[in-house]
Amino acid sequence: MCVPSTIATGISVLGSALSTANALSGQKAQAEHAKQQREQAFQNAKLAEDNARKALLEGEKEKEKIRLEQKALQSKKAVEYGAGNIDLAGGSPLAVLSDMAGQGEEYAQNAGEHARQKAKNYNTQAQGYVRQAGSKGGSNPFAAAQTVFSGLNSAAAAVQKTNFKRGPNYF
């Protein structure tokens, strides 16, 4: 006794089961990919934060370098004035040295501001990576259950679509 509708129902149920298994496998792969992306985003955030710290340190070194260069220039100018028997206690030579000191400090502060801006940009980048990692979030814990239930629903629908004929069996 072979009933074609029973075979069709069985094939439909088997197809639904395979479809459900395939969907579950796909969800697992997506979850693994999201996890890898999250880890990469956190690593990128850590690198950006490290770069921000390095930028601040480099900025401090640059400020110190500029200050030393400016002091050397001021000393050189003072020696030139001294060699020319110019009194450094007042007047124009003192104003020149004072202006040099002010301009040197302005250069140093600009270098420090540039480093702070660079560090701020790195920190913003790090925050973006952290947000990106958060948006990758863990996989939906209900996704597998939804897939199973949708597979069961499609199997049930396939069973309902088949017409069971009642009556004499001719086979």
What are the tens digits of pLDDT across the range 15-27? 777 777 777 778 8
Q: What is the pLDDT of residues 88-133, one digit of tens each?
A: 666 787 778 888 888 888 999 999 999 999 999 999 998 988 888 8
Query: Which residue ranges make up each domain of the chain?
Result: 4-161
Among 2-6, 29-33, 128-132, 150-154, the range scoring the smallest mean pLDDT is 150-154
- pLDDT of res. 148: 47
Q: How far apart are CA 81 and CA 96, in angstroms?
A: 11
Instruction: Evaluate if residue 33 carries a pLDDT over 70.
Output: yes
Does the pTM exceed 0.75?
Answer: no
Q: What is the pLDDT of residues 37-89, one digit of tens each?
A: 889 988 998 999 999 999 999 999 999 999 999 999 888 888 887 787 777 66
- pLDDT of res. 159: 47
- Under 8 Å between Cβ of 119 and 52: yes
Tokens 């040197």 correspond to: 104
Question: Helix, strand, coil proportions of the chain in percent (round to 5)?
Answer: 85, 0, 15
CB-based contacts of 70-73 (< 8 A; 24+ apart in sequence): 70/100, 70/101, 70/103, 70/104, 70/105, 70/107, 70/108, 71/104, 73/100, 73/104
- pLDDT of res. 78: 83
Nearest by Cα to 32 from 145, 148, 136, 144? 136
Tokens 């502060």 correspond to: 109
Tokens 């089961």 correspond to: 17
Q: What is the pLDDT of residues 151-164, one digit of tens each?
A: 545 555 554 554 44
Tokens representing 170 are 């001719």
